[in-house]
Amino acid sequence: MEKKDLHDEVKKMEPLLKSSCRTIWENPEAGGNEKESAEYFRRILKDEGFKIVNEEHLEHAFCAEYGSGKPVIAILGEYDALPGLSQKAADRKEPVTKGAPGHGCGHNLLGSAAAVGAIAVKRYLETEKISGTVRFYGCPEEELLSGKVKMVYYHMFDGCDFAISWHPMSANMVYDSGYLASASVHFEFRGRSSHAAFAPELGRSALDAVELMNVGVNYLREHVTSKARIHYTTDSGGFAPNIVPPFAGSWYYVRAPYISDVKEILERIRKVAEGAALMTETEMEMKIDYGCCEMLENHAYGDLAYQNMKEAELPVFDEEEEAFAQRLVDTVTKADAQKAQNLYGTEGRPMTWKLNDRNLYRVNPLSASSDSGDVSHVMPMCVLSTSCWPAGVAPHTWQATAAAGCSLGEKGALSAAQVIAGIAYDLYHKPEAREAILKEFNEKKDDYTPMYEV
Ligand SMILES: [Zn+2]
């Protein structure tokens, strides 16, 4: 079987891919609740002859495995939706169910292309009878930035050699590096309740502590790396003004280019929180939920992924699809659309239709965070994207949900499945590619431990 045959195998699975994309899109489940979505993927992979393992650690996470021996290739699939982004596959904002979740990040496409890619690779291993294992990883809670961190913590990726990941986007490109490291932290202050007018001197306000802490952190901003992002909410701050709040809490996200920066900033925020507690005579408790890492860069792997994007068939959109994409573009500002079209070189068309430059990730980095970053610290990982929604449309919007629910996204997913299968093909066949990727990985890897405590 040549790589071209493997691409054809993927193409033959277009009906399965489409029905998978639609099924998950029509039943959106937000992070932590992906029961039916995980079950759907488990079932199609089981029907294909995969063995389902590693289900006991984390709800809605699993591994579907086929083959034996090395190399062991992990294909990462996600399927969580976003709260409140329910949307029809229409060109105006129109939820299917108001307030319900929706696939505004296209994880219906993400999981489906990963599963179809894994099935194609399985069929290839079966036909050729070569040494090698393919694993599809069902990864929940990506939008919470926690799923894969927990999966690493529970050693679910043990025994894997290479990871392949992709994400729907507005461009056909490869990311050698990216993702901001991030941590989610809760601060809880406990004071003493009292009548705020009758006996204020007996009260110690936990809400005062939260406010003073936020003021302190806002001064701290000036003195951390300029690429850091610190954002917070407060979810509790007392009951009524005449009761001194005995309890108040805040929830912080801290992001920076490297997890080491995040940890350093967290230590300084801890001091600010301690200072606030000291000033208000309250007790402070800091609870780190989890943190996720930046992606460990691997140019050799990026080269292999890019080569495979050249060899696969990129999505080609017909007139009707382009017209629909244009109507979505018309809902964003002209300036935003133009900026994106220039960046991706669409020559005025709404969808990116060509292969983007090898180094575009340098000017257009993945500046959000993803729990996939952690996977890249336990084995080499590549990330690619295909054109699934119009240039100028951002993920986590109703427009992206709409595109992910129609043939725009499905075409991008089909192309991604071909690239995924092609990369796996090369990893099985080209020892020199494996060695180059592993050499770079071993040179760059650090003493990583997942930032998650049960
Ligand atoms: Zn996403």
What pLDDT, in 10s, does the model give residues 404-439? 999 999 999 999 999 999 999 999 999 999 999 999
Amino acid at 404: A
- The pLDDT tens digits of the residues spanning 12-24 come to 999 999 999 999 9
Cα–ligand 1 centroid distance for 361 (angstroms):
17
Cα–ligand 1 centroid distance for 429 (angstroms):
30
CATH code reported for the domain at 181-292 = 3.30.70.360
| Residue 406 · residue 317 · CB < 8 Å | no
Domain range list for the chain: 3-179+294-452, 181-292
- The pLDDT tens digits of the residues spanning 174-185 come to 999 999 999 999
Q: Which residues contact 344 (CB under 8 A, 6 or more apart)?
A: 170, 171, 352, 356, 360, 391
Cα–ligand 1 centroid distance for 384 (angstroms):
12
pLDDT of residue 177: 92
How far CA 122 is from CA of 66, 125, 215, in Å, comes to: 6, 5, 55
Does residue 447 surpass a pLDDT of 90?
Answer: no
Cα–ligand 1 centroid distance for 15 (angstroms):
24
Arithmetic mean of pLDDT over the chain: 96
Amino acid at 411: K
Cα–ligand 1 centroid distance for 107 (angstroms):
6
Amino acid at 150: K
Cα–ligand 1 centroid distance for 282 (angstroms):
39
Looking at residue 31, the DSSP 8-state letter turns out to be: T
Cα–ligand 1 centroid distance for 417 (angstroms):
17
CB atoms closer than 10 angstroms to residue 381: 24
| Residues comprising the chain, all counted | 454
pLDDT of residue 237: 86
Cα–ligand 1 centroid distance for 142 (angstroms):
7
Cα–ligand 1 centroid distance for 81 (angstroms):
9
Amino acid at 350: P
Cα–ligand 1 centroid distance for 101 (angstroms):
14
Cα–ligand 1 centroid distance for 52 (angstroms):
24
Does residue 385 surpass a pLDDT of 80?
Answer: yes
Cα–ligand 1 centroid distance for 352 (angstroms):
19
Positive/negative CA dihedral, 364, 365, 369, 371 = positive
Task: Report the pLDDT averaged over residues 234-245.
Answer: 91
Per-residue tokens: 26: 């029509």
Q: What is the pairing mode between strands 162-169 and 62-68?
A: unpaired
Cα–ligand 1 centroid distance for 159 (angstroms):
26
**To which H or E segment does residue 189 belong?**
strand 181-190
pLDDT of residue 453: 74
Per-residue tokens: 200: 């204020």
Cα–ligand 1 centroid distance for 110 (angstroms):
8
What percent of the chain is predicted at pLDDT more than 70?
Answer: 100
* pLDDT confidence tier of residue 122, bands split at 50, 70 and 90: very high
Cα–ligand 1 centroid distance for 9 (angstroms):
27
Does residue 454 surpass a pLDDT of 70?
Answer: no
Looking at residue 294, the DSSP 8-state letter turns out to be: P
Cα–ligand 1 centroid distance for 31 (angstroms):
11
Per-residue tokens: 190: 């406990």
Does residue 368 surpass a pLDDT of 90?
Answer: no
CATH ID of 3-179+294-452, from 3.40.1160.10, 3.40.30.10, 3.40.630.10, 3.30.43.10 = 3.40.630.10
Under DSSP, is residue 175 helix (H, G, I), strand (E, B) or coil? strand
Note the Cα 13 to chain centre separation in Å.
Answer: 25
Cα–ligand 1 centroid distance for 111 (angstroms):
11
Cα–ligand 1 centroid distance for 46 (angstroms):
25
d(CA 248, CA 206): 5
Find where tokens 């600010």 sit. 272
pLDDT of residue 225: 93
| Residue 368 · residue 394 · CB < 8 Å | no
Task: Report the pLDDT averaged over residues 350-361.
Answer: 97
Cα–ligand 1 centroid distance for 395 (angstroms):
8
d(CA 306, CA 414): 16
Cα–ligand 1 centroid distance for 374 (angstroms):
15
Q: Which residues of 70-90 are buried (b: 16+ CB within 10 A; e: fewer)?
A: ebbbbbbbbbbbbeebbbbbb
Closest by CA to 110, choosing from 425, 388, 399, is: 388
- pTM of the model as a whole: 0.93
Q: Which residues contact 139 (CB under 8 A, 6 or more apart)?
A: 61, 76, 77, 78, 147, 148, 151, 371
pLDDT of residue 452: 87
Helices and strands of the chain, counted as H and E runs: 15, 12
Q: Give the DSSP letter string of 96-115.
A: SSTT--B-TT-HHHHHHHHH
Cα–ligand 1 centroid distance for 35 (angstroms):
18
Cα–ligand 1 centroid distance for 143 (angstroms):
7
Closest by CA to 414, choosing from 172, 178, 123, 174, is: 172
Note the Cα 418 to chain centre separation in Å.
Answer: 20
Q: Give the DSSP letter string of 313-348.
A: PPP---HHHHHHHHHHHTTS-HHHHHHHHHHHT-TT
